[in-house]
Structure 1
Amino acid sequence: MRVRTEVRVEGTVQGVGFRPFVHGLATGLGLAGLVGNDAAGVFIEVEGDAGTVERFLRGLREPPPLAVIERISTRSLAPHGHGGFSIVGSEASGRRRTLVSADSATCADCLRELRDPADRRFGYPFVNCTNCGPRFTIVTDVPYDRPNTTMAGFAMCADCAAEYRDPADRRFHAQPVCCPACGPHVTLRDPDGRALPGEPMAAARALLRDGGVLALKGLGGYHLAATAADGSAVAALRSRKHREDKPFAVMTADVRSARSLGEVGPAEEALLTSVRRPIVLLRRLADAPLAAAVAPGNRSIGVMLPYTPLHHLLAGEPLVLTSGNVSDEPIAYRDEDAFAALREIADAFLTHDRPIHVRTDDSVTRVFRGREMPLRRSRGYVPGPVPLPAGGPPVLACGAELKNTFCLAKDGRAFVSHHIGDLENYETLRAYREGIEHFGRLFDITPSLIAHDLHPEYLSTKYALEQDLPLVGVQHHHAHIASCMADNERTEPVIGVAFDGTGYGTDGTLWGGEFLVADLTGFERAGHLRPVPLPGGTMAIREPWRMAAAHGVPADLDVARRNAARWDTVVAMGDRGVGSPLTSSMGRLFDAVAALLGVRDRVTYEGQAAIELEQRADPRVGDAYPVRLDDGSPFTVSGADLVAAVVADLRAGVDVPSIAARFHNAVAGLVVAGALRVRETTGLTTVALSGGVFQNLLLLERAVAGLEAGGFGVLVHHRVPPGDGGISLGQAAVAAARPHGASEPVTREAGTDPR
């Protein structure tokens, strides 16, 4: 019996070779009909005998590599009796549900062409096809067709147009298709913008070999590169960029080379070679051929493989590859901005004439127990949606202040943005506003509700307050736990352990060492670290020795002597509460111990003291300092008791690696003890761990092991970061689930400085 069936396919099905796939499948089965793009995804009509149409529908379940099918729906139509199958023009009208593909690493077929002297695309830095190449960073609107990308200005030559129209070619309807005759071109320029002589790629490689610093335009913005084994080149890059200590990432040619830098297990290899090509944190090898300045004092090294043809053409010896920006500013992606910002850093610019529409940093991830745990979710992952466990109205979640992302959500999909950065300057705020507008247009989301942090001084909060929409205030640590729940598609109540540096509490103090009983609609504070002063407010974050003073460290110890000129003043500030808001922050407790052990008195990037304290800890040490929970409700734990135990070991001459390990083990023990206490009163047996402190693998591993031994199920992050980059997802999940959009209460105490 002859039938005609209308098929609608939703998901990531544009820009990934889905229409050519459908064309090939249908024609191979001898079916008639059509396929096209519209604002909701892909529409198909197939006609033939019923059994063959059924085979076609089964075949749709095995799509091209970059496609992600969310939903297939069908409807019977009256047969036409016509023959042939065609790809029809796109339809731009209607409600947008189609998904935009993330940028994808160069596929094996394109790499073969790149390296084949007989191929017309030999050595061409923009080779791509339907299975790879730029997507999100060049898309200006949907449907995903060439006129709605930054390739619109490059008219296809006859050869490329023939490939584009040939259903048997893998570039059939590949929107960025191009070649040296018709596509973008690279140019090597000096810092004043003048073109330099010679073949650009060869000259760029020579500059790097000679110890120069190169600015290069990638998929989502400019990078700065230097030869990773060249100590002078790396030192020059650090000095010019004013990046004193924060580790640099390293790009290396292949997995074999990556194995010479760090420990690569099966899960790490899968991430390194995935189409997403993130930076993967590896345990660094002692004899890795890297300059000491690449990642000073760090046991880990961030490694990535090339992900564009341009990067493949540069790859040889390992290269430092870091964001093209000056300290605290977002990555440069417009050519004029890059030359203005980086001219004093780079010796030359390897640039090109294909515009970048959305700046997008590299993603950073690591492996925990064989599973991915992202630390920065950006290029390669965004704009892929995260499932939202609760429905609700369209929501804009504004995110946090540091490591900001925003999130737009509707219909059970949460679109967490690329990494925006720290909202502390005009340029980053502009990128934030532009990003929200772009996502709203791409995914046709007009929010009816805005979720935001409770902190009144966050620029993200101020942005929310400027909008003429109902607001939902979500407490920072509740958002962390909700983020972990949404990450794991859970809605039932959990014991939430949220450890981080700073978050504005409902009592107007700064929280950060929290045990919560939480679901998506609300939370109760079950326990926390006992609050201590934060002497000097944000100055105490930059100078961890102040937290040692706040925790009552005796003045005869080295940390006090090193800071003797201001020690007594800072102690007095804390005692009198002058410029010293109260904080229950676990991150600040780590700072205190790091300063006490001589690891770090001052930091040059967020979390540095805690990161270096983890590096110093001896993982072979299994004993821990005791922790004691008081009988209050909520219960409290004295961080000063842990500091006193550290002081006692220091006086006894115990080595720093052992003390650091005992402290980590004590914090892990605190996580377990707190969860046991909450289970006694609630019966809950699932623990969600979130907050930036849980990026510490030593702590995370021991906390999870202890919880599992205690009979708990444990939720950790695997889709969004545990740090503030995941906050927006939690805010969106809470706003979608909470009835009537109620905010969490804030009772700010008189005289409290929220900063």
Structure 2
Amino acid sequence: MGVLVRVEGIVQGVGFRPFVYGLATRLGLSGRVGNDGHGVFVELEGDRPLIREFLHRLERDAPPLAAIERVTVRRGAVHAAGFTIVPSASAGASRTLVSPDIATCADCLAELRDPADRRYRYPFVNCVNCGPRLTIVRAMPYDRPLTTMSGFAMCADCHTEYHDPADRRFHAQPICCPSCGPRLKLVGATGDPLVGSARVLRAGGVLAVKGLGGYHLSVLASDDRAAAELRRRKRRGDKPFAVMVADLDAARRLCEVDATGAALLKDRARPVVLLPRRPDAAVADAVAPGQRRLGLMLPYTPLHHLLLADTAAPIVLTSGNVADEPILYDDRAALENLAGIADAFLTHDRPIHLRADDSVVRPFDGKAMVVRRSRGHSPRPCTLPLATTRQVLACGAELKNTFCLAKGAHAFVSPHIGDLENWPTFRSYVETVRHFCGLFGIRPEVVAHDLHPEYLSTKHALTLPDVELVPVQHHHAHIASCLADNGESGRVIGVAFDGLGYGADGTLWGGEFLLADLASFERAGHLARVPMPGGAMAVRQPWRMAAAYLADLPDVEAPPVAARNGPRWRQVTALARAGGLGAPLTSSAGRLFDAVAALVGVRDTVTYEGQAAIELEQLADPHEKGGYPAGVSRDGGLLVASGADLVRAVVADLAAGAGPAVVSARFHHGVAELIVRCCRLLREDSGLATVALSGGVFQNVLLLRRTLDGLRAAGFRVLTHAAVPVNDAGISLGQAAVAAARDHIGRSSGTS
């Protein structure tokens, strides 16, 4: 009997062919297995019961990194003696999936630490179960000649392992060892690369380290002078640095690590995990100024393990770039651009083909809340609730940009790109779009984009020839992203709270209640609009939003923030009252949080997006249960929720002597109760009982927890994000889901 088997999913670069080879030979089956642009193909010949057993074990016992999506079987002629792995076929467009980069496995770590092993202290040890994948792949199918390992000829020992079916490195494409390379190099310091690098760090220097997806900058996490100097050289402002620790014990000395936190730290993606900082943590103040949390991660490459062991202390590991530019990954560019920041470079000669930042997660409700989805997660696909009949590019947002490619039911969200506010980041965006299109064999026919005409992602969409453009309102994309993340397509009450997004009416939205499904939406309510004095300047200076809210509350006594800003306060208040182009109206929830942060004295200016709101959340008293009331009115059928009522209560409570921590908690609770009240009213109007929560404001776990509990107590079913971030990094998935849904409806009705 002969059968032809097709296996689709993440089945290349994960040891699938060696697994098939071993399974077939143990069962005494003849045939062959290989990679092609669609996944893995298997041709089998043998007794019918043995083939049935093969097909059963194929899915049950698949390699740990494999993700099988579909197995198809048909009869066919097979003529083979024995079973072989054949060279990959590359004809046709690629339809297979690509594995993310995976942290070093336990078997490879054992070799790394064994003096008797030939890979002892070799910083590039890997096997079929771990190591670089996406960042070294130039094209599919996943074979060594199509990766950045193509320039390293295997030595005799590696060649033997690669061709030995009993070996863990059987057909491991990045296989290497000290004899055949890659190799480390230390630039700017002397001695053995690892020993010399540890010496640089212990002496208070800044070390650039080439990792999987780009260069990082490192100092000792306990060295306040070095951390402050790195911050100055990098022009980082107050944005926190991530810290790498050797193991869970070291993590527990710095942070409170519960079972969820430990599981996230040990996850094979090895993300940065945001955890509560211990009061006695030996971490410099300059690492995370004003933060009650630290971003910790465990080593995810052999190089990191060795560097941590030789340094014998936690280290800062932050992206190797200047200010808000993308992480550097090209050796020449890194040496040139980081020369004024790093004192020495720990580099190597394995090229990186695709840059990838570290992923960031935060524990919530016993699982991960994804803050940034990048290395270790991308390009694992999301599944669209409604498959697209045409190939889609969704261009994403301006801030925290990702893009998304969709083909059929698969949606491939890119690694984190960054803020599209400078040429280097935009160039990286365009290059990565091009690379992903080639990698997945996608030629976009439909291009979805934000409504904002000045977003560089929108402008890019408008330059693309021979495509159908699908404009998607920003907050609809947020809700569609949450729906897609949950495999839903039906109509919901969508609560989209974020900083700013271009509204369907041309104004600045950001505190929205929508009635929406994947294809369409209607605005059902919003936070009452207030002026943004100075426009974008109000984002960088939250005290301006405090002035804007108080401009229409003449009976409220001027708070301390007014005195702190002196004559400017009066000027900005007048600007807010005058309105017009100098003070555009916004319904933004993010700007409401900014105003309250300034009122309670958290900060009047910020050095990175969301800083005021983040610090306001951290300030809140966890024991306080009360919340401020706020009114809801109707304007032409729209619900209008009063942020001014919350501001008035904040000012009154502060004047009565309430502490900032209590006021912060009561404000958060008041916002949550306002959301629940609006959702109740919309349920009465629409009959909908499912709520989708999205937008960057819901990264605030205090607000999210209180809102979830309130909605569930009120009988709502609540959808939150899981695979993609709640912030603007999830926008591209929402845009793709909207485009797919509209395409699906159009094709079903016989229109295009």
CA deviation vs aligned residue, 1:381-426 (integer Å, no higher than 9, x gap): 0111000111122110000000000000011000000000000011
Deviation at 1:214, TM superposition (A): 0.6
Aligned position for 1:118: 116
C-alpha distance in 2 between matches for 1:78 and 1:92: 22
Q: Which runs of 5+ in 1 are unaligned?
A: 191-195, 743-755
Aligned position for 2:69: 70
The reply to whether residue 576 of structure 1 matches residue 578 of structure 2 is: yes
The reply to whether residue 717 of structure 1 matches residue 737 of structure 2 is: no
Instruction: With the length of structure 1 as denominator, give the TM-score of the two structures.
Output: 0.96
Deviation at 1:739, TM superposition (A): 4.6
Deviation at 1:741, TM superposition (A): 8.9
Deviation at 1:110, TM superposition (A): 0.7
1:507 is paired with a residue whose SS is coil
Aligned position for 2:523: 525
| Amino acid of the structure 2 residue aligned with 1:363 | S
| Amino acid of the structure 1 residue aligned with 2:71 | I
**Contact persistence 2:31–2:78 (CA under 8 A):** no
Deviation at 1:573, TM superposition (A): 1.5
Aligned position for 1:750: none
**Contact persistence 1:134–1:176 (CA under 8 A):** yes
Task: Decide which of 182, 198, 205 is 1:205's aligned counterpart.
Answer: 198
The reply to whether residue 139 of structure 1 matches residue 132 of structure 2 is: no
C-alpha distance in 2 between matches for 1:270 and 1:567: 48
The reply to whether residue 400 of structure 1 matches residue 404 of structure 2 is: no
| Amino acid of the structure 2 residue aligned with 1:306 | P
C-alpha distance in 2 between matches for 1:586 and 1:198: 54
1:604-619 equivalences in 2 (<5 Å): 604-619=607-622
Task: Decide which of 538, 556, 559 is 2:558's aligned counterpart.
Answer: 556
**Contact persistence 1:216–1:222 (CA under 8 A):** yes
Which deviates further from its counterpart, 328-337 or 689-698? Answer: 328-337
Task: Decide which of 40, 48, 51 is 1:50's aligned counterpart.
Answer: 48
Aligned position for 2:459: 462
Aligned position for 1:305: 298
1:741–1:605 CA distance, 2 compared to 1 (3 A): farther
**Contact persistence 2:387–2:744 (CA under 8 A):** no
The reply to whether residue 391 of structure 1 matches residue 387 of structure 2 is: yes
1:242-281 equivalences in 2 (<5 Å): 242-281=235-274
Aligned position for 1:598: 601
Provide the identity percentage: 64
| Amino acid of the structure 1 residue aligned with 2:64 | P
2:253 is paired with a residue whose SS is coil
1:99-248 equivalences in 2 (<5 Å): 99-190=97-188, 196-248=189-241
Aligned position for 2:412: 415
CA deviation vs aligned residue, 1:617-665 (integer Å, no higher than 9, x gap): 1011110100111133211012111111111011111110000000000
Task: Decide which of 648, 652, 668 is 1:644's aligned counterpart.
Answer: 648
Deviation at 1:555, TM superposition (A): 7.1
C-alpha distance in 2 between matches for 1:299 and 1:410: 42
**Contact persistence 1:260–1:285 (CA under 8 A):** yes
**Contact persistence 2:404–2:411 (CA under 8 A):** yes
CA deviation vs aligned residue, 1:141-196 (integer Å, no higher than 9, x gap): 00111110011111111111111111111111111111111111111112xxxxx4
1:671-750 equivalences in 2 (<5 Å): 671-739=675-743
Deviation at 1:570, TM superposition (A): 1.2
C-alpha distance in 2 between matches for 1:276 and 1:606: 26
The reply to whether residue 434 of structure 1 matches residue 431 of structure 2 is: yes
The reply to whether residue 356 of structure 1 matches residue 352 of structure 2 is: yes
1:260 is paired with a residue whose SS is helix
| Amino acid of the structure 2 residue aligned with 1:405 | T
C-alpha distance in 2 between matches for 1:314 and 1:565: 53
1:538-553 equivalences in 2 (<5 Å): 538-552=536-550
C-alpha distance in 1 between matches for 2:699 and 2:111: 40
Which deviates further from its counterpart, 43-52 or 695-704? Answer: 43-52
**Contact persistence 1:555–1:561 (CA under 8 A):** no
C-alpha distance in 1 between matches for 2:237 and 2:455: 27
C-alpha distance in 2 between matches for 1:339 and 1:189: 9
**Contact persistence 1:594–1:610 (CA under 8 A):** yes
Aligned position for 2:634: 631
Deviation at 1:296, TM superposition (A): 1.8
CA deviation vs aligned residue, 1:399-456 (integer Å, no higher than 9, x gap): 0000000000011000000000000011001100001101100101111110000001
C-alpha distance in 2 between matches for 1:113 and 1:719: 33
| Amino acid of the structure 1 residue aligned with 2:675 | V
**Contact persistence 1:472–1:741 (CA under 8 A):** no
C-alpha distance in 2 between matches for 1:169 and 1:79: 27
Deviation at 1:252, TM superposition (A): 0.4
Aligned length: 734
2:136 is paired with a residue whose SS is coil
**Contact persistence 2:394–2:448 (CA under 8 A):** yes
- CA-atom RMSD in angstroms: 1.2
Aligned position for 1:747: none
Which deviates further from its counterpart, 583-592 or 118-127? Answer: 118-127
**Contact persistence 2:498–2:695 (CA under 8 A):** yes
C-alpha distance in 2 between matches for 1:343 and 1:671: 50
Deviation at 1:580, TM superposition (A): 1.2
Which deviates further from its counterpart, 577-586 or 212-221? Answer: 577-586
C-alpha distance in 2 between matches for 1:134 and 1:364: 19
C-alpha distance in 2 between matches for 1:294 and 1:741: 51
| Amino acid of the structure 2 residue aligned with 1:533 | P
CA deviation vs aligned residue, 1:654-711 (integer Å, no higher than 9, x gap): 1100000000000010111111011001111111000000000100000000001000
| Amino acid of the structure 2 residue aligned with 1:176 | P
**Contact persistence 2:220–2:314 (CA under 8 A):** yes
**Contact persistence 2:132–2:212 (CA under 8 A):** yes
Aligned position for 2:750: none
| Amino acid of the structure 2 residue aligned with 1:380 | G
C-alpha distance in 1 between matches for 2:368 and 2:383: 17
C-alpha distance in 2 between matches for 1:21 and 1:308: 24
**Contact persistence 1:471–1:741 (CA under 8 A):** no
C-alpha distance in 1 between matches for 2:720 and 2:7: 32
**Contact persistence 2:543–2:604 (CA under 8 A):** yes
**Contact persistence 1:735–1:741 (CA under 8 A):** no
Deviation at 1:338, TM superposition (A): 1.1
Aligned position for 2:313: 317
CA deviation vs aligned residue, 1:263-297 (integer Å, no higher than 9, x gap): 22222222211211001111221122211222122
CA deviation vs aligned residue, 1:565-623 (integer Å, no higher than 9, x gap): 31122112221124111100000000000011111100000000000000111011110
| Amino acid of the structure 2 residue aligned with 1:72 | V
Deviation at 1:198, TM superposition (A): 1.1
| Amino acid of the structure 2 residue aligned with 1:403 | K
**Contact persistence 2:43–2:78 (CA under 8 A):** no
C-alpha distance in 2 between matches for 1:239 and 1:461: 34
Aligned position for 1:444: 441
C-alpha distance in 1 between matches for 2:720 and 2:594: 24
Deviation at 1:224, TM superposition (A): 0.6
Deviation at 1:732, TM superposition (A): 0.3
C-alpha distance in 2 between matches for 1:24 and 1:648: 73
